Structure 1
Amino acid sequence: MTSITTQDYTIHFNTDGYDKLNAFLKTSNYSKLFFLVDNNTHNHCLPHFLSQISTDKEIEIIEIEAGETHKNIDTCSGVWNALSELNADRKCLIINVGGGVVTDLGGFVASTFKRGVDFINVPTSLLAMVDASIGGKTGVDLGALKNQIGVFNTPKMIIVDTAYLNTLPQLEMRSGLAEMLKHGLIHNKLYWSRLEDLSKLTLEDLDDLIHESIIIKKDIVEQDPNENNLRKTLNFGHTLGHAIESYYLSRTDKPTLLHGDAVAIGMILATFISTQLTGFSEKENAMIKKVIKAIYGSVEISENDYAPIIELLKYDKKNEHGHINFVLLEAIGKPKIDCQVDNELIIKALNFYKE
């Protein structure tokens, strides 16, 4: 796959990525390399990564616990302390090898340690490849509230090696697919239609779709790096999706929802709301619900859950001046930002999801 060059860094693919990384390390003057992994990627991904690396620089490995519940300041403190104890200086390089939790948290740690050191992302999950590791967003959760603390900062490069997808459980693959479906709905009807019937996809098709998904996000981010306008469209499905994800994370009596599963629910809700507010086609709304539910099934959301989920909307990062702003669709590939939705319509959308 052809490398994708952004304004600030380049995304390299598969074996070519390691050639570029090794050349970069050879010509750089880094004092020491730190590889940040979680306990899953340490076992399943790091051996492959290390086998591709050629460097005479000193290497240290820092491991964190896997999972969204560990994407917090306490984990950051542990990594900052480990860096200090291992004599990291301002000329070190942090390489984040993992899914969205590792790349988000690792980017934030690098951006704040000694007021900022360089980092590289090596996403190992589908979600991180097409979304989390791209676009310069770094950060952590505040309790159950998603991504409340963070900064914009870009890596030196990104290496997308789709061989890592062979290590993923099916549920994690499904989670990442939600962001690809989102890219189709907000940007390109043809891309969406290619994802409608997954049974027909080959591994080569998946590589091509990942490449195209990254280009879609890259093009949007370059036009609006700090999310003042167009980049907000990437939050389609995330307003209610994040609220539902946070709510389920905070409840011991609820199953843990992966990010993509929550966004999938959020997309069904946002598409229904679009039929009520922006004239989106009811026929296409029904089709989108059918496609998404065929992939993700249904999550039980009771009427008692409605109020606490709606309450969590006030923490959404798109909110301005006390208004909760949604991304909706006028048509597939034609999003509309900064749409205000009343609670009555949100409840109607939740009931539609349950039907």
Structure 2
Amino acid sequence: MKSISTNNATVFFNSEVYTELNNYIKTNKPSKIFILVDTNTHDYCLPKFLERLESGDINIEVMEMPNGEDHKTIDICTGVWEALSEYNADRKSVLINLGGGVVTDLGGFVASTYMRGITYINIPTSLLAMVDASVGGKTGVDLGSLKNQIGIINEGEIVGVDTSFLDTLPQNEMVSGFAEMLKHGLIYDKAYWNTLTHLENLDLSDLDQLIYESIVIKNKVVTSDPKEQGLRKILNFGHTLGHAIESYFLENADKTPLLHGEAVAIGMLLETYLSTKVCGLSTQELEIISEGILKTFSKVEINKNDQKHIIDLLQYDKKNSHGIVKFVLLEAIGQPKTDCIVSDALIAEAFDYYAN
């Protein structure tokens, strides 16, 4: 597949990943190479990656963090910064983030702030990271249970998408990443949405092309608006309520935490309903979208008490301004509208729609 150029980086695919990465190392001669992994990618992805990495006489240090969203914290960043310092990382060092969205988000933030910025490269190993987290330069960590409150927009040098890493991924993680692909269809390309919701007509050999198309869509959006002043906001469809739901389930011991895509799928269903009330989305498309999402994602019980706390968490959404919560909604499939204001009463209606 042809590489994709972003504002400051290039996305390479499969075997080309290693050709370009090794060329980068030979040409730029970094002082040291650091590889950030989590406990899962250390075991399942690192050996294969190291087999194909040609570092010559450049020293490689591997740094391992715990896996999971609950470790996407400043405390973990501090540990990685201290490790970089201990191993004498300098401004000519490079950090390779080998992992899912937690690793690429946190690793990108660490690299962007260590010594005021060193080069980093993302090698996403999950479907979510391939189609979303590793592309576009959003780096950062959570503040307690609040998603991505601390961070910076700064692209890495290379994104390397080797889809063979997906062979190591549990089914629920594949499903989680699929939510972002569905979102790309809903906000940008109705034909792509239709393809994704009729996967029975496809086979596994089509997956690479679908991933490629998803990255193309995201790249078109972020290259036109890298700092999220306008169009890039559309990528938040499903995330206003989705992030609040994810945070709520993460911080409550009596709840089973949801993967990012599982929470976003709920958010997309809720925000699709809101779209019928605020933006004139047709009830026919509401039914089409609901059916398309529920083909893949099971419903989750959210009671009235849960709803109240989730609505309270909306105040922390990063799109807000002047204390007003702003949503991305749909006028039609492929036609999003930003900066929509929605009442709490309508949100409660949306939860009722989801429940029933």
Report the TM-score, using the length of structure 2 for normalisation.
0.99
Q: Distance in 2 between matches of 1:297 and 1:287?
A: 16
Q: Deviations over 1:19-51 (max 9, x none)?
A: 011011001131000000000000001111111
Q: What amino acid is the match of 1:190?
A: A
Q: Per-residue deviation at 1:55?
A: 1.5
Equivalent in the alignment of 2:143: 142
Structural mapping, 1:115-264, within 5 Å: 115-264=116-265
Q: Distance in 2 between matches of 1:206 and 1:325?
A: 34
Which residues of structure 2 form unaligned runs of 5+? none
Q: Deviations over 1:75-118 (max 9, x none)?
A: 00110111111111111000000000000000000001111100
Q: Deviations over 1:159-213 (max 9, x none)?
A: 0000000000000000000000000000000000000123332222110010010
Q: Distance in 2 between matches of 1:193 and 1:251?
A: 36
Q: Distance in 1 between matches of 2:181 and 2:295?
A: 16
Q: What amino acid is the match of 2:18?
A: Y
Q: Per-residue deviation at 1:292?
A: 1.0
Equivalent in the alignment of 2:101: 100
Partner SS, residue 30 of structure 2: coil
Q: What amino acid is the match of 2:45?
A: C
Equivalent in the alignment of 1:54: 54
Structural mapping, 1:294-313, within 5 Å: 294-313=295-314
Q: Deviations over 1:336-355 (max 9, x none)?
A: 00000000000000110010
Q: Distance in 1 between matches of 2:200 and 2:256?
A: 27
Q: Distance in 1 between matches of 2:204 and 2:14?
A: 14
Count of residues in Structure 1 that have an aligned counterpart in Structure 2: 355
Q: Distance in 1 between matches of 2:97 and 2:245?
A: 28
Q: What amino acid is the match of 2:102?
A: V
Partner SS, residue 292 of structure 2: helix
Q: What amino acid is the match of 1:15?
A: S
Q: What is the RMSD of the two structures over their aligned residues, measured on CA atoms?
A: 0.7
Equivalent in the alignment of 1:38: 38
Q: What amino acid is the match of 1:109?
A: V
Q: Distance in 2 between matches of 1:163 and 1:199?
A: 22
Q: Deviations over 1:262-308 (max 9, x none)?
A: 00000000100000111101011012112211211110101111110
Q: Distance in 1 between matches of 2:186 and 2:27?
A: 42
Report the TM-score, using the length of structure 1 for normalisation.
0.99
Identity %: 59
Equivalent in the alignment of 1:3: 3
Equivalent in the alignment of 2:70: 69
Partner SS, residue 295 of structure 2: helix
Q: Distance in 2 between matches of 1:149 and 1:201?
A: 40
Q: Distance in 2 between matches of 1:199 and 1:82?
A: 47
Partner SS, residue 341 of structure 1: coil
